[in-house]
Structure 1
Amino acid sequence: MMTLHDNAAFQGLLDAVRQGGVDVAADSRKATPGGVFVAMAGSKDDGARYVVDALEKGVAFVVAAPGQDLPAGATARLVAVDDPQAALGALAAARFGTETMAMPVVAVTGTNGKTTVSYLIERLAQAAGHTVGVLGTVAYRWPGVVHDATLTTPDCLAIHENLAAMARSGCTLAVMEASSHALDQDRLAGLSFAAAAFTNLTQDHLDYHKDMAVYFEAKAKLFRRYLARPETAVLNFDDAWGLKLLREFPQAIGYGLTVPPTGFARLLSGHIQHHGREGQELVAAYGDDSYAVATPLPGRHNAQNVLAACGLALALGWPVETFAALADCHGAPGRLERISNPSGRAVFVDYAHTPDALENVLSAAREFTAGRLFVVFGCGGNRDRAKRPLMGAAVARLADVAVLTSDNPRHEDPLAIIEDVKPGLKKARRAILEPDRRRAIELALSEMRPEDVLVVAGKGHETYQQIGDVKHPFSDAVVVRELTGCA
């Protein structure tokens, strides 16, 4: 197998791209005259089917796997490579200049916690004197710029383009959420990360990854392929899959709240001293030193998120004094976010849409609920069906009143999704079925007493309800405010 470095034709193409004026596309609809089209096999389609379309757009180069042919009379040059996705990463880095970029990039991966950790590390980086850009689930943003996020991790070309824009605008650090889909599809090609954290691995996306082992292999790619130095990995030893990675990379920093595993030199071990609705205080031990860390974020899962961020700070060599900055970091929007309302009722919205995330969020809410805990939740359509009853079971265990509703049904029948969830609710103290999400929230609010707590789960920061291919305006937070007379 010939590497890209040894491929003289490809190296010549890279030089042409570096000189400027040569665009790169992996979507034939975006191909330009004189540009490069990279034909890649995707999870749903194969770029080789669109070579003719790209040629009709006037591309001068086609990069493809060996065996690809161009039609008779084509004037474009065919460059054969063994790994078209890696080639796209190299071309993107050459096109946007990220191959020589001084700005370090930090990544966070895991089923849950990526967004919160990205906000926490952003705050620590600011305390360390950095100007920060972030690519993640909520938005792609840097000082003066905010773009709505269409994907947690954008496509390869968009990643490089955004990182280059951050660097040009004066950012000295970038933080990225790395999704399992992006890792599996090598959207991070062409990048080398200064540090990376693994939060956890729990059931999700098994509609895409066939089982948990395959899901893990996608996540592990971040550390095996894209991390510059294994000692800057930060891995959750409380999670079985995180401990598996720590054993693979023993020089990494391990973090957690349980008894630390033996045989590892660099462990960040946390202990929760005080906790409540308004946050918590931790003591984090690293080596022979201990540090007090305060956060306004409640819940054991957020204590782990705080440790992940502190571990990244240690991996990057930032002073421990930066930890104090977390005391005023309220995390990401839509993550156990309290929604102020004239009635004073304790209402929170959260993005939890997996069994483990619901377990974490509702366990945190349970700790500060004096009365009954209400939960409004649903399951997304055209996503992992196997997790639906598990989500119901998590709610049944922890909620006093479960209100099952719709959450982005997409191309599925909302009532069919509800039927998938119902077996998990068999042991619920009380369950209400209301497919209309606004009406479900209204029902929960109408029954609340002053000492009760309501968690509206599943959407968090999202501002839409997707039915079919149409995203209808819908925000849980806005609806709560409207129904309580705030808007």
Structure 2
Amino acid sequence: MTDTRYQTVAQLFSDTGVLLPYGVDDIIITGVEYDSRQIEPGMIFFAIPGFKTDGADFVNHAIAGGASLVVAEHYVDCARPLIECAPIRRVLAEVSSAFYNHPSSEMTIIGVTGTNAKTTICSMVKSVMESAGHKTAQFGTVGNYIGESFEATLNTTPESKELQRLLRKSLEAGCRAAVFEVSSHALVLYRVHAIEFDLGIFTNLTGEHLDFHKDMDDYFNAKMKLFEYLRGAGKPAIINISDPFGQRIANYQGLDVMTYGDPKTAEVHIIDATFTPSGSLLEIHTPAGKLELRLGMPGRFNAENALAAIAAGLKCDISLNAIKDGLESFQPPAGRMQILDYGQPYQIIIDYAHTPDALTRLLASCKEFTSGKLITVFGCGGDRDKTKRAPMAQTVASFSDLAILTTDNPRTEDPEEILNQVQSGFPMGFEYLRESSREKAIRMALQIAKPGDTVVIAGKGHEKYQIFGTTRTYFSEEEVIKNFLESGR
């Protein structure tokens, strides 16, 4: 979409350190784009090398769409002025920030990073901020929320140009704060470069994305980029020191830290707790005094997520009363420990858990309030880290009375081969069923469930699709469940 904030090339590149070719300084730019299909007259086209395709292959298409200028990491023969620079993603972030007039400098920006719990913590922080009167935008896995408007998203953290656009749109909608998920991909690929963070939150780090990162140290170092920025800017961080990687970050010299989690050493921790299927009653220690809290989201791990939001609120100078109000009125995000109640005599929970650690947290919490059997429906995604497949089956077997193994998003892999790899992790004698159709697997679990049981459907959470090959097919777990319970079959 063409924007009205037209600027010259010289203005947009003034802080990038890029040497501009003769004659381009005064060209008026109408927009910044990296997708040749979205180019409109007067835009800059950034020809970004991707993992599957190279943007340089689409330069002529961008020019046909009206691109005034091309930016690439290497020489491209084209009929428009060319700027060569590297790394191009860093320059894209800086130019995008300039084009949208550096919106993060006008807002309180909170970034949440870690393997698990980012979405829930972002939602809790938003609720706390708004309870204190700070209208807050939220971006992440479940979508982008700006006031009453919603935009779907493909990535946990949007590309830098999209992120800058969202921040400017948030300001124009009256938001003076934004909280969003910061993925390791975003940190490595410069998506959050040129964002002026005011606060960072670290949740935990467990095996995930090892198809992208070389190993856990490489994964950790990617996450550290956020905290290196915070230290350099003199901004605070909220760190979960129940996690060993969190302990390493908390000891990072020069970083202003408030800790949460560990009941013996953390500044914000749980003193006492009662867990029920509908939520938690909590007594919490904080540097500002004791807080009694009724959290309407079940699970021990969600109580721990609330600690992060409390610490963030305190660092933003929000009172305990406002923090309490924000968390007690908090509405859980879709697909995160989501309870479906259609009057059935057993619990049904949908959750996004798709790693061994996330499944451990989810199933351990469900076990605490399940009087009958725990039945878990799960699978593993294709074209992703294969090393977690067998361990996920081991985790499910550790907590569940029955597992139903099914598809998740097979993508370009053979669904049956994925199931074979997952199945290899089940211990001898453990009871499980295998059904490649996710719809049939869910129906099977509901047919088996008895009063007092809990049925957990893990892996997809908020997603309303399955991916087979490269095609997204509409699929709603909630609709499958509702239709089954209404029809009785």
Deviation at 1:33, TM superposition (A): 3.8
Distance 1:486 1:105, change over 3 A: farther
Instruction: Kindly state the Cα deviation for residue 53 of structure 1 after the two structures are TM-superposed.
Output: 4.6
Residue 69 of structure 1 corresponds to 75
Does residue 59 of the first structure (1) align with residue 67 of the second (2)?
Answer: yes
Name whichever of 105-114 and 91-100 sits farther off.
91-100
Q: Which residue of 1 aligns with 2:299?
A: 299
Cα shift readout 1:103-162 (whole Å, capped 9, x = no counterpart): 222111111101100110111011110112111111112223111222211111111111
Q: Kindly state the Cα deviation for residue 292 of structure 1 after the two structures are TM-superposed.
A: 2.3
CA contact (8 A) 2:373 2:452 kept: yes
**1:78 aligned to 2:82?**
yes
Q: What pairs with 1:69-218 in structure 2 (closer than 5 Å)?
A: 69-71=75-77, 76-99=80-103, 101-218=105-222
- 2:313 is matched with 313
The residue number in structure 1 matching 2:257 is 252
Taking structure 1 as reference, are residues 473 and 99 closer, same or farther at Cα in structure 2, changes over 3 Å only? closer
Distance 1:233 1:251 in 2: 6
Q: Structure 1, residues 370-408: CA drift from partner, whole Å, max 9, x if none? A: 011111111111111110111100100000011111111
- How large is the Cα RMSD of the aligned pairs? 2.6
Change (3 A) 1:292 1:76: same
Alpha-carbon offset, residue 257 of structure 1: 3.2
Give, in angstroms, the shift of residue 172 of structure 1: 1.7
Q: Distance in 1 between matches of 2:31 and 2:265?
A: 50
| Secondary structure, counterpart of 1:484 in structure 2 | helix
CA shift for structure 1 position 52:
4.8
Confirm or deny: 8 A CA contact 1:4 1:11 kept in the other structure.
Answer: no
1:223-264 deviations in whole A, cap 9, x for unaligned? 223677454211111111111111115421111134227xxx
Question: In structure 2, what is the equivalent of residue 38 of structure 1?
Answer: 46
Task: State the Cα distance separating 1:48 from its structure 2 match.
Answer: 4.2
Q: Secondary structure at the match of 1:363?
A: helix
Q: Deviations over 1:153-187 (max 9, x none)?
A: 11111111111111111112111111222222111
SS at match of 1:485: helix
Q: Report the Cα distance in structure 2 between the residues aligned to 1:13 and 1:111, rounded to whole angstroms.
A: 47
- Structure 2 vs 1, CA of residues 229 and 6 (structure 1 numbering), >3 Å: closer, same or farther? closer
Look up the SS of the partner of 1:166 in the other structure.
helix
Instruction: Give the Å deviation of 1:486.
Output: 7.0
Corresponding position of 1:264: none
Question: Cα distance 1:370–1:348, how it changes in 2: closer, same or farther (>3 A)?
Answer: same
> Which residue number in structure 1 is paired with residue 390 of structure 2?
389
Which residue identity lines up with residue 399 of structure 1 in the other structure? S
Instruction: Give the structure 2 partner of residue 454 of structure 1.
Output: 455
Give the counterpart of 1:7 among 12, 17, 39. Answer: 17
Q: 1:37 to 1:365 in 2, by over 3 A?
A: same
Offset, 1:300: 2.1
Q: State how far apart, in whole Å, the 2-side matches of 1:14 and 1:189 are.
A: 25
Letter in 1 for 2:139: L
Q: Which shows bigger deviation, 374-383 or 183-192?
A: 183-192
1:287 matched residue in structure 2? 287
Q: CA-to-partner distance for each residue in 1:48-88, whole Å, 9 max, x for gaps?
A: 444455445453333344xx3353xx563333444322211
CA contact (8 A) 1:392 1:424 kept: yes
| Structure 1 Cα separation of the partners of residues 176 and 191 of structure 2 | 22
Alignment match, 2:335: 334
1:418 maps to amino acid = L
| Aligned positions, number | 474
Shift of 1:8: 7.0
Q: Where does residue 465 of structure 2 map in the other structure?
A: 464
Asked if the contact 1:191–1:226 (Cα under 8 Å) also holds between the matched residues in 2, the reply is: no
Q: Which amino acid aligns with 2:391?
A: L
TM-aligned CA distance change 1:389 to 1:428, over 3 Å: farther
Counterpart residue identity of residue 465, structure 1: Q
TM-score by length of 2: 0.90
Q: Structure 1 length as normaliser, TM-score?
A: 0.90
State the alpha-carbon separation in 1 of the partners of residues 212 and 179 from structure 2.
25
User: Which whole-Å CA distance do the structure 1 matches of 2:437 and 2:104 have between them?
Assistant: 51
